[in-house]
Amino acid sequence: MSYWPNAPSYTLLTIIVGCAILGLTVNVGYALLFSTGVLGRAYQKFSKWIEGVLALVFGYAGLRLLLSRS
């Protein structure tokens, strides 16, 4: 079953390659940013707060998933 019956045959490959390029670009960008001294020190200084906030956000999302009825 195809969602786009008139789409060219290379559409799926284009989507996969585009997502791979986007993911690579974002991750290399993060690596370059956090390899600088300024951002590395800032993250070390605030890492407990950042990780605490993320733990609350993901914990809330997990509870919502567990308690959803659908």
DSSP for 1-27, written as a single string: --S-TTS-TTHHHHHHHHHHHHHHHHH
pLDDT of residue 3: 73
List the structure tokens of 70: 């659908």
**Around Cβ 39, how many Cβ atoms within 10 Å?**
13
Distance of alpha carbon 19 from alpha carbon 30, whole angstroms: 17
pLDDT of residue 2: 62
pLDDT of residue 58: 98
Residues lower than pLDDT 50 in the chain: none
pLDDT of residue 1: 52
Distance of alpha carbon 11 from alpha carbon 55, whole angstroms: 38
